[in-house]
Amino acid sequence: MSVRLFAWLMIGLGVLLPFVGWQAASPVGFVGPVLVLLGILLLVTRRQRGH
């Protein structure tokens, strides 16, 4: 699994978790925005091949 795919999966999971947390009345929804931020950070800071 590449870093780019992992980052996109983290963003996708981060977008879904607040909805799951809201429906289940669980604090897991607060983890979602953190995963989105980490995914974006991974996409921005990943090393480009050949640089």
Cα angle 22, 28, 46; round to 5: 120
Q: What is the mean pLDDT of residues 30-42?
A: 89
Q: Model-level pTM greater than 0.85?
A: no
pLDDT tens for 1-12 read 888 899 999 999
Residue 49 confidence (pLDDT) above 70: no
Neighbours of 32 (CB within 10 A): 20
| Of residues 25 and 35, more confidently modeled | 35
